[in-house]
Structure 1
């Protein structure tokens, strides 16, 4: 057993390598258990790590959300099932095995005040090799532990753009459907942050049917992964999601916009082209009855309005304000040129084939 000075040295070493992320203390099932010496790898300075995690470590808070996370109270049940080993033939082998189990036990049972496991911390420090060793050691249930912001290791690996760690987590059985405190799954995070390589690793070996629950999941703002990719002009990610079976006409939960509505609002011609070519419903209506053509004309975007008309948009659809797209043209000659002039309008309504 190491002397008191040696133990203090090990603990001091860990203190020097911690980042300022609000981690004030460690909680362990036994105060006498020894912390394993961290693996030394080249990693960014603490300030750089903190900058990368500004959006995910602010105002950590406690919660009673337990349905999909492992707690300190029930993690012991997992340990009993994952640390059992066969008896050794020699005394030296048995001693070595016991020492290894003691280290493994400590790695599994240590959770910080922020709810982070050693795997969370390894990812925060971008210690990819150490994280890989922990992934091999931990059972799937431990890989899915959520911290106080409900972030799994997969969320953090995506935020920090660590595709090799993402791949190891997915291969190790990490769940894609768990949502953080914003309701985002790891794939939501990839689409919002533009982490294409991480998204590729998450979906690489997944069939469309397997990914459907993740692709259909809405965060607390009511948006899916395809909505987020569209909102942030992530065209490469949009193509990936569509290839994997994302619903082109899915409506977000607040106003009923489809990805096509969002692309039109952003005047994003490449995204509109992609969605129309892939078969998006050109006449999809929001909750207020507005179609993409209503939005294009209302925003005086003649280019996209023309694209929608060429794709067969119905120019006579009325929204809940009883307005057609033409009613929103506001005298724009380029847009008015898209609409037929042989129609007679009475009180704002087109009349075709009327005999006088």
Structure 2
């Protein structure tokens, strides 16, 4: 599994139009409106791993940084409330209007990577508005993380934006940071957060059953992995489909760096999947001598059996390098290795 950074250029590939923009301000009205090409009329496959656009509005030529700036300047909530109550009410409604695609103006400012405008809006908005999710269930924090806007992430968190919100794939903003290697954003999300508050977020699984550490491992995000480890993430949490731990995933990827990081931090070398396979079963089954050797040096139990009643040795398939890792592999009874025999 590989990751692909969600960048501004990627977003420009979106062809859907902000058909709800007219409700925000006439200056954002497109001369030639286009119909949205996406269909949100029914539930989406939560297990889909297809790359998503961050926002359908990104392809709109009618939305510019200048127009966003004008809106904020025109709608700045700085006048005394007792003097212009009605005007302020109208301005607040304008700033929090949601487009047909579910975006607030804050979503749009972040997508256009206008940090100053985004920070001004964060200052103006109450917490409830900061947590509005668009049609892809992305909050402003999700979008700022995808685009690696660390200052915006920091501003949102300081204002109380939620870390618990999940997008249409079940990913929190921290999931996104782990998947795409947004180390600075992840650092902001985990900074000054109590372990009791952070633990449930670290353990949250997306719709594919993956927690933050799983995504970091699958995408070889070693810096993020180290950050999560320092924050006390559960190294042995199992993903929801087959019960693999981060160590199983690292072994499958043949990522010896991740394997070493996990073992050095105390990951369970003998953790079993739902089918009973340990990381050593996977390494031997893949004929990966280097990782199998590393696991054995870390104390892996070579006698553990999976649900097929196989030890890791049974999967060696005559590989002399693998067999050399097992003690007494040359001792046989009735032509069968003692290590591989099932004791009655």
Deviation at residue 244 of structure 1 after TM alignment: 1.1
1:243-283: CA deviation from partner (whole Å, max 9, x where unpaired): 11211001101111000001111111111111011110000
Alignment pair present for 1:130 and 2:117: yes
What SS class does the counterpart of residue 201 from structure 1 fall into?
helix
Map of 1:102 onto structure 2: 90
Partner of 1:254: 241
Partner of 2:295: 308
Out of 197, 212, 215, which is 1:210 matched to? 197
Distance 1:129 1:87, change over 3 A: closer
Q: Is residue 26 of structure 1 aligned with residue 14 of structure 2? A: no
Counterparts of 2:168 and 2:158 in 1: how far apart (Å)? Answer: 25
> Aligned residue for 1:3?
none
Q: Alignment partner of 1:112: what SS?
A: coil
2:151 paired residue number:
164
Secondary structure of the residue aligned to 2:121 is helix
Alignment of 1:280 with 2:286, yes or no, is no
Deviation per CA, 1:187-208: give whole Å up to 9, x if none: 1111111111111111122122
**Cross-structure match for 1:197:** 184
Q: Secondary structure at 2:338's aligned position in 1?
A: strand
Change over 3 Å in CA distance of 1:296–1:255 after alignment to 2? same
Q: CA deviation at 1:21?
A: 4.0
How many angstroms apart in 2 are the aligned matches of 1:146 and 1:172?
A: 16
**Higher RCO (Cα < 8 Å, 6 or more apart):** 2
Q: Once the 2 structures are TM-superposed, how far is the Cα of residue 139 of structure 1 from its aligned partner?
A: 1.0
Structure 2 distance, partners of 1:175, 1:138, is 14
TM-score, normalised to structure 2, is: 0.77
Match of 1:243 in 2: 230
Structure 2: gaps spanning 5 or more residues:
1-13, 29-35, 45-76
**Paired residue for 1:35?**
25
Cα deviation for residue 344 of structure 1 reads 3.2
Tell me the TM-score normalized by structure 1.
0.74
**What residue number does 1:69 align with?**
none
Point out where structure 1 has 5 or more consecutive residues left out of the alignment.
Answer: 1-18, 29-33, 39-56, 66-82, 89-93
Q: For 1:1-356, what aligned pairs fall within 5 Å after superposition?
A: 20-26=15-21, 28=23, 35=25, 59=38, 61-62=40-41, 88=82, 94-95=83-84, 99-108=87-96, 110-341=97-328, 343-345=331-333, 350=338
> Which residue number in structure 1 is paired with residue 73 of structure 2?
none
CA contact 1:282–1:292 (8 Å) conserved in 2: yes
The Cα offsets for residues 189-244 of structure 1, whole Å up to 9 and x where unpaired, read as 11111111111111122122211111000000000000000001101000111111
Q: Deviations over 1:66-116 (max 9, x none)?
A: xxxxxxxxxxxxxxxxx9x9765xxxxx24x654443233102x1111111
Across the aligned residues of Structure 1 and Structure 2, the Cα RMSD in angstroms comes to 2.7
Task: Tell me which residue corresponds to 1:15.
Answer: none
Change (3 A) 1:276 1:64: closer
Cα contact 1:187–1:202 (8 A) shared by 2: yes
Distance in 2 (CA, whole Å) between partners of 1:309 and 1:236 is 26
Number of aligned pairs?
287
**Structure 2: distance between partners of 1:256 and 1:105:** 47
